[in-house]
Structure 1
Amino acid sequence: MRLNIVPGSSCIGNVEIHEASRVIELDAGHFKDSNKTGDGNGNPLGSKTGDGNVPFSHASLRAIESQLAIIVPCMNEELTILDGVLHGIPHECLIILVSNSNHCNFRNERALLSDFCHSTQRQGISIHQQDEGLAYAFRVAGMPELVVEKHMPQVKRQSVLRIRNGKGEAMMIGTAIAKLTKKQFVGFIDADNFVAGSVHEYCKAYAAGLHYATRYTDCSNTRTSSGIAYSASKPYAMVRIKWNSKPKVKDGKLVFEKSGRCSRVVNEWMNRLSNALGSDDIQSEVIQTANAGEHAMSLELAMKLRFATGYAVEPFQLIDMWEQFGTETDSYGVSYSTKDTAAPPRRKVQILQIETRNPHFHDISKGHEHIQRMQLQGLSTIYHSSLTPPALKDALWAFMTTDSTFDVQAFGAPEEARVYSPMKMMDFQAFRLALKAHADTVTVSGDAAFLF
């Protein structure tokens, strides 16, 4: 793959969000990574000199993919569509299917993944979100807030443990399982993608972006304008996909719209918050992926982030990174004063946004209310952030109460998304043992030893 890396970025504390790069070649050809080959113009691979066209060898992508778990949250999607999604995921990636489907559909999904992994000689894991043993494993591992006790009069015990419903919760399940497999990166792919080729491109973009972010971005041991020190060690990394287009049929013609309805609104307000937090007077629109369902990150970063429930999960990632790494006080209230020369260096967070080539075809039958919920939950993360200046919060509230799109009360506040503790607090040995002993729906295709 070859990317056109754009030099511009926005820095808030230790969080650097790069302007959207573009895929300019799906396959950059066969070559070996070295300073001699570089970007094809005599510049070292990843150098910020030259024209910004950076090739990634097959070997460099495969090195990331072999350490990348692709998590597919699924809820009653058509089996033929899920089949295409699975076929689009590169062979070296571990597939983790987290289903919240009805039990009949889950059996078919599990069989589909098992058959696919058997025929292609690869590894995959499937699990049901409502597995009581899974809920018990999270509770004993130190994440009781993820679990609810449901009254079930038809069972002898009258009540059972369940993981809360939601996409964010499914992502947490997949990430925790990826941690058990000792993978270094996690990526997320929606199960309603109609085109296997776009799934494949997203995964390749994950690998290219993670390779670039962890090896070639500026990690020098310096201080930012706010005085926050960051370490020369490898940065935390995230890649967020910007769809090339979302085609829709209008008046009998296929129209390739460049952005979705939800993205336009949430991106605008996320950029307004970014500009309010930044030190530059220039008003930028660097954020183009506030609602990026397709994204990947280093597992270390995933362990530190707080996950939100529902459709707030992706925009809240940006908010949480600013709150944790963008201020002089970390998430535990520890201050890193510019006067304290003994303050420990803090690692930087590199966020790459990558615009892909394939159009994004997905299920659009969920209706206008679905878009409204996505918009409102995304904007709610901005409204309730401790970083949002009062004037911006007032402007956002005025927007939500005057726009008929949003069903909010004229007096009050939008509902705040449930946010969970970071998973680094979990006891993963206890999680592993409980999952092995009590989870009934876990199916491991391939070498089971790497999990248990």
Structure 2
Amino acid sequence: MKLDFPRYTERLGAVSIHAVQRIYELDSGKSKGFLSSHQTIKKFDYDEISNILHDMAIIIPVKEEKLKLLEGVLSGIPNECLVVIVSNSPRSPVDRFEMEVGTVRQLGRFMDKRLVMIHQRDPALGDILKKLGYDSILASDGKVRNGKAEGMVVGLLIARMYQKDYVGFIDSDNYVPGAVNEYVKIFAAGFGMATTPYSNVRVSWVFKPKVRNNSLQFSKWGRVSEITNKNLNALLSNITGFETEVIKTGNSGEHALSMPLAESLHYSSGYSIEPYEFVDVFEKFGGLFASQYPKMIEKGVEIFQIETRNPHFHEDKGRAHLNDMLEAALATIAGSKACPAELKESLEEQMAQLAETKSHRKTDYRKKYPIIEPINTVPGDDFAKELREKAETFSRFGGLR
């Protein structure tokens, strides 16, 4: 892969937020070195990318996805990666989860890929986490809460169990396996450019096509992304005193974290997880408040945003789904300790307008989007032992134990 170095960087305390980077070649060849005097382009040899992928887990949260879409996503993930599928699909009246397991088992015979699957609401999983004192992810029934973020955090715990250095997240509703392949290699390129062990790589889609008037329209931004990015940039601008538009990936479902950073972050429930990562990084490492992580402050945190070459074709889940995503993002920013009063008022007005389209009941967003504790509070060896012994839905393929 060949891409440019960051052309511009916003800095907040120990946090560096790099402007969107452009890819010039998806495959820049096997040859070593770079036969040019350019100092603005970074080239990754195939072996460099492959070595990083060996240390990476790709987490796929699934809920009632079309099996053909799941097959396509799995086919696009490079073989070097460990794949962790966390499903929250219904088990009755038709057992969708068993259908997913059957699909993955059959594909696994031909792919020779290392795959792990678990159901998010496995009762044993909830019991294990409760026993280990990690109850911020649990619902009142003792099982892991419903929600995308909760599934992603379960995936993080499993990736750490297999001692992976990097974790990437891919949504399961992608129609283009080649785009999935590009996302994973973008993750690897970002980690290869990082100058700190604490890094976050976020995908910026070049286009998100929509069908309008029987033809494809290649839109640059969706409504939710545009509003989320605008408000995250407003938060950053208010903190620094200088207006900026550097953040372009506030709702990026396709993103990756180095494990040392992933272990240290809090996570916000449901669809608020992606924008909350920005908020949590600002609060922990932006020099705004006292930090419990002096080593990370010393090394710094880098956020990369890398634009794809493939457009992003995904399942259209309707306006209600988009409104839920937008509400989650706005509530997350408004709830930040760093959010100034004027911006908070603006965010509350935007949420009130959304509420008019849904219901007139006042919402307690702190209860609706609870915060999940960092996974570094979970004893890794104990979690692994208990999961292998007790979780009925914990399936492994490709020689994993």
Structure 2-normalised TM-score? 0.94
Closer, same or farther in 2 for the Cα pair 1:261/1:99, shift >3 Å? same
Matched, 1:193 2:182: no
Q: Which residue of 2 aligns with 1:145?
A: 136
- For the pair shown, the structure with the greater C-alpha radius of gyration is 1
Q: Which residue of 2 aligns with 1:182?
A: 163
- Cα distance per residue 1:312-361 (max 9 Å; x no partner): 000000000001111253454x8x8xxxxxx9962211110011011111
Matched, 1:114 2:105: yes
Q: Percent identity?
A: 36
147, 169, 191: which one pairs with 1:166? 147
Matched, 1:91 2:107: no
- State the SS of the aligned residue for 2:267: coil
Asked whether the equivalents of residues 400 and 406 of structure 1 are also in contact (C-alpha less than 8 Å), the reply is no
- State the SS of the aligned residue for 2:143: strand
Structure 1, unmatched stretches of 5+, are: 44-49, 151-160, 218-233, 337-342
Asked whether the equivalents of residues 204 and 305 of structure 2 are also in contact (C-alpha less than 8 Å), the reply is yes
User: How do 1:219-258 and structure 2 match up within 5 A?
Assistant: 234-258=196-220
Closer, same or farther in 2 for the Cα pair 1:270/1:178, shift >3 Å? same
User: How do 1:21-40 and structure 2 match up within 5 A?
Assistant: 21-32=21-32, 37-38=33-34, 40=35
Aligned AA (1:128): H
- State the SS of the aligned residue for 2:298: coil
Q: Which residue of 2 aligns with 1:58?
A: 46
CA distance in structure 2 between the partners assigned to 1:69 and 1:330 by the alignment: 32
- State the SS of the aligned residue for 2:17: strand
Matched, 1:420 2:372: yes
Closer, same or farther in 2 for the Cα pair 1:345/1:99, shift >3 Å? closer
Q: Which residue of 2 aligns with 1:220?
A: none
CA distance in structure 2 between the partners assigned to 1:132 and 1:351 by the alignment: 36
Asked whether the equivalents of residues 197 and 260 of structure 2 are also in contact (C-alpha less than 8 Å), the reply is no
Closer, same or farther in 2 for the Cα pair 1:405/1:209, shift >3 Å? farther
CA distance in structure 2 between the partners assigned to 1:275 and 1:137 by the alignment: 42
Q: Which residue of 1 aligns with 2:17?
A: 17
- Cα distance per residue 1:258-302 (max 9 Å; x no partner): 1111000010010011111125x3x21000000000000101111
Closer, same or farther in 2 for the Cα pair 1:435/1:413, shift >3 Å? closer
295, 303, 309: which one pairs with 2:255? 295
1:98 CA drift (Å): 0.5
CA distance in structure 1 between the partners assigned to 2:172 and 2:131 by the alignment: 30
Matched, 1:68 2:56: yes
Q: Which residue of 2 aligns with 1:372?
A: 323
Instruction: Choose between structure 1 and 2: higher helix proportion.
Output: 2
Structure 1-normalised TM-score? 0.83
Closer, same or farther in 2 for the Cα pair 1:344/1:18, shift >3 Å? closer
Asked whether the equivalents of residues 136 and 434 of structure 1 are also in contact (C-alpha less than 8 Å), the reply is no
CA distance in structure 2 between the partners assigned to 1:408 and 1:353 by the alignment: 36
Aligned AA (1:142): G
- Cα distance per residue 1:378-416 (max 9 Å; x no partner): 011110100011122123223443578765869887556
Closer, same or farther in 2 for the Cα pair 1:435/1:5, shift >3 Å? same
- State the SS of the aligned residue for 2:60: strand
1:142 CA drift (Å): 2.1
How many equivalent pairs are there? 397
CA distance in structure 2 between the partners assigned to 1:128 and 1:306 by the alignment: 22
- State the SS of the aligned residue for 1:54: strand
Question: Alpha carbon RMSD of aligned pairs, Å?
Answer: 2.1
CA distance in structure 2 between the partners assigned to 1:414 and 1:92 by the alignment: 40
Closer, same or farther in 2 for the Cα pair 1:124/1:413, shift >3 Å? closer
Closer, same or farther in 2 for the Cα pair 1:135/1:402, shift >3 Å? closer
Structure 2, unmatched stretches of 5+, are: none
User: How do 1:235-384 and structure 2 match up within 5 A?
Assistant: 235-278=197-240, 281=242, 283-327=243-287, 329-332=289-292, 346-364=298-316, 366-384=317-335
Aligned AA (1:320): D
Aligned AA (1:284): T
- Higher mean alpha-carbon deviation, 313-322 vs 398-407, is at 398-407
127, 130, 151: which one pairs with 2:121? 130
